[in-house]
Structure 1
């Protein structure tokens, strides 16, 4: 593979050469007296591309933040970055000046994603984006009012039953659980959950710095299509994904016409809207409108998997590595729930569970780089000019370790959310901490590009965390021959934009024989209602 990459790189040398000349001349013209943000030394043309790692890039950006301060500049080839690690600066740029800093940068390995309609979170702010975002916001808000119609709890009972029977597959089951909840809400087809998770993982790979080489060595994307393997792969991948979304959409439409589509699905909501707009019972539309709607629902479905699967896996890891907090949370659950599985009705009474969940997302963020914003026109901040096209990254990993807000930030400390005296403490504990409001909501992005999924993250992660602790004791796995603990690298991840930990091993055991029997009873209660 390395040989092929080198060959392709040399084929691309003409474009690299002309780009280098252009960048060098531009660099020569810059006035040395022009105000600049601090930052690492920049080399002509290449900037710092040579020492920007494709994996765990947030660690490098955090290292530079410690050296150069809460806002600094760097660039790599033709991409210019302003890196922010201070909440107030991020709010000033990405919230108060959201009309300037709410664009999305071009991801080389994706094709026309800024135009739409396939990826609403990656589009520029145009009419397609506005229409999709408005619709998704209303659909998500309505589902939250009903706490997602009980599907989170039903799928959790299935998950716990599978875990009891085959605990070694806990990582697969966790992602599938997230995929099934979203696929049921989208199309009334939870059986698509596994494929939904796999599709999400592949899509994230293609949009990440750690993914295709062209996302960092951008001139390679200019290779002709017939010798461009990244272009060929993306044409095939996106075509298959769109076809899958469209097929699910049309199957849901057929069920709607037969009166078989549940009214708690997002597809049902869309078809009802079409009937109202057309003032008749006809839900037929031109194909371009079907593609618009199927991508809108499909991408909402996809994002709901990746934003919850990674943090849920990290939560299981955190509980096994911190048995004292596992025990505290289990004692709280036992006092409140006894022999029954926790549900959203127990939310107010389980602050320790919520603190462990909130701390997990701070300690091992699912979006440690932050999602990039692009400057949509020239601007100036603190006397420094920021050119149109510059990428602003609010580095979540660094923000989550600012000592004044998060003392002992590298360590897992759920008490920071529970005890007065910590900067993050909020009352009443029947309400805080949560993923909908309060401190540390920057995990969900900024301003006009804030993620719409806080509510489902709050519900789904709470039920997942509380029910898992109710059902099982977890611990680090041991080597079957030596009996020694198998180490876990808590920072080993796939390095996607929204990431998951790399595979790790844990040992799960039901907390008692009676609890095991209750898990099985719950599992059999829902099997008849869930398609497997």
Structure 2
């Protein structure tokens, strides 16, 4: 769909109107127009459209990113923003680095499962940060994938043919499935929250968790025993649970695309590895190395441009009647800033179809910024539309920045990522680099990649690094 929207933009211009099943859409393919509507007029364009296959997502408290701008949304967004910023100041207390050691070890043992391991890796980090239970990593990834399926246009047919949602309960498979799915997910989040609360009261919940931060805040406000109503516990468990869940696929997909990009672009893989070797030597890269590894950061940044994880953009909804360039925009109109098209405006991104990390490293490119010890990154500067617009900007920029850097640099430090060859013919196995699932947030379809340690010494080092932290990981 995103490629069709770009095709229409090339014909009709950077902003146009269309409709589907009676719903009005405005499609934007220009960064400045998106800023005008979704940032400068954010007080009018920051609603979320109804996703029919979900219950009550606009009123909360389950999914802050899908709520309308109401009290639940304001309170959850404020808390999550502060928690992310606080943890980023401490670079997430080394949790990412220790989980990367495990990630490299499992890839060394069974590299063919890199798709599943990448998602589990991201799930473990988020579950460990939420309530110190990395064992939830795999289930967290599966829950995220299922939730995304429910909220995507390509998901249940009721998301496009909404009258079907109103079929009586006894004959309605979509409502029955969603009731069971949401009830299970809410119960899981609530149980994790209550277990974390018990651990906090016993004094054995680590301080480097968001749940610890939440409970400490309750005590600072005068609630020393952490007694809460069922409604307040539901609110808090959903806030922490969704923060946990949304950080899985939003990072797993880009990391899988990064593996793809490196295997397809050996020249850039080699440049990044040479930079890592020069700065880190036999030492695994950490967040402390961020300023010294601009090539690694450029390769990661270009991955998000080349294969956007949210190519349609996350939809906004017009909250009041408005007018733009003489055109009436009625309340309820859905606004899509098409990331796929915005990332391919040739004036901003020359040679847009090709993977060109040098656009962030060499003077003369429109996206070049100095100093290279700071830029490019995932927190500021050019290309931040990847994380959304205005009041709906993604709150996870800080963890994306740290997690993708440490994971990506660690992969290149430990492994060579090559095209897979047919064992019978020796020919490179071709695949569609644009093949993905059809969720609103994408992961690539499984693709072949040959992942091998860079040397026997590096393989032994990977295993030793994992052994050093194994006792502190819940595996």
TM-score category, normalised to shorter length: over 0.9
After superposition, residues 206-221 of structure 1 pair within 5 angstroms as 206-221=150-165
Match of 2:433 in 1: 490
Q: CA deviation at 1:350?
A: 0.6
Counterpart in 2 of 1:435? 378
The superposition leaves residues 257-316 of structure 1 with CA deviations (integer Å, 9 ceiling, x where unpaired) of: 111101111111111111222x24210101110000000000001111111000000000
Match of 2:419 among 459, 472, 476: 476
Instruction: Give me the CA root mean square deviation.
Output: 0.8
* Matched position secondary structure for 1:478: coil
Distance between the aligned counterparts of 1:408 and 1:229, measured in 2? 47
Q: 1:243 aligns with which of 174, 178, 187?
A: 187
CA distance in structure 2 between the partners assigned to 1:233 and 1:78 by the alignment: 26
Aligned to 2:284: 341
Match of 1:72 in 2: 16
Secondary structure (helix, strand or coil) at the match of 2:323 reads strand
2:27 is aligned, of 74, 83, 93, to 83
Residues 283-362 of structure 1: pairs in structure 2 closer than 5 A: 283-362=226-305
Separation (CA, whole Å) in 2 of partners of 1:354 and 1:268? 31
Deviations 1:317-370 (A, max 9, x none): 000011111011101111111111111111011111000000000000001000
Q: Which has the larger radius of gyration?
A: 1
Aligned structure 1 segments of 4 or more residues deviating by more than 4 angstroms? none
Q: Establish whether residue 394 from structure 1 lines up as the match of residue 337 from structure 2.
A: yes
What's the offset of the Cα at 1:219?
A: 2.1
1:500 and 2:443 are equivalent in the alignment: yes
Which residue is equivalent to 2:394?
451
- The change in CA–CA distance for 1:205 and 1:280 in structure 2 (over 3 A counts) is closer
Quote how far apart the aligned CAs of 1:228 are: 1.6
Q: CA deviation at 1:221?
A: 1.6
CA distance in 1, matches of 2:182, 2:146: 10
Q: CA deviation at 1:152?
A: 0.5
Gaps of 5+ in 2: none
- Shift, 1:482, TM fit: 2.2
Deviations 1:379-409 (A, max 9, x none): 0111110000000000000000001000110
Residue 405 of structure 2 corresponds to 462
Instruction: Map 1:393-432; keep pairs closer than 5 Å.
Output: 393-432=336-375
Distance, in Å, in 1 between the alignment partners of 2:176 and 2:441 is 24
1:161 aligns with 2:71: no
SS at match of 1:74: strand
Secondary structure at the aligned position of 2:336 is classed as strand
Q: Matches of 1:488 and 1:224 in 2, distance apart?
A: 44
Cross-structure match for 2:144: 200
Q: Aligned partners of 1:513, 1:263: CA distance in 2, in Å?
A: 38
SS of the counterpart of 2:450? strand
Secondary structure of residue in 1 paired with 2:472: coil
Which residues in structure 2 correspond to 1:46-61 (within 5 Å)? 57-61=1-5
Task: Find the aligned partners of 2:428 and 2:175 in 1 and give their Cα distance.
Answer: 44
Distance in structure 1 (CA, Å) of the matches to 2:169 and 2:12: 41
Taking the aligned partners of 2:363 and 2:303, their CA distance within structure 1 comes to 20
1:15-43 Cα deviation digits (max 9, x unpaired): xxxxxxxxxxxxxxxxxxxxxxxxxxxxx
* Aligned equivalents of 1:502, 1:74: Cα separation in 2: 29
Q: Tell me which of 521, 524, 527 is aligned to 2:464.
A: 521
Alpha-carbon distance, 1:480 to partner: 2.0
CA displacement at 1:485 relative to structure 2: 1.5
> Deviations for 1:130-154, whole angstroms, at most 9, x for unmatched residues?
0000010111111001000000000
Match of 2:41 among 67, 75, 97: 97
Q: Deviations over 1:71-93 (max 9, x none)?
A: 00000012110000001100000
Q: Secondary structure of 1:528's match? A: helix
Give SS of 2:435's match: coil
Instruction: Indicate the residue corresponding to 2:69 in structure 1.
Output: 125
Match among 178, 202, 217 for residue 273 of structure 1:
217
Within 1, Cα distance between the matches of 2:31 and 2:71?
30
Between the aligned partners of 1:483 and 1:217, the Cα distance in structure 2 is 48
Matched positions, count: 475
Distance 2:45 2:78 in 1: 19
Instruction: For 1:259 and 1:411, locate their aligned partners in 2 and report how far apart those are by CA, in whole Å.
Output: 53
Alignment counterpart, residue 318 of structure 2, candidates 355, 375, 379: 375
SS at match of 1:302: helix
- What are the superposed Cα offsets for residues 52-105 of structure 1, whole Å, 9 maximum, x if unpaired? xxxxx1111111111110000000012110000001100000000000000000
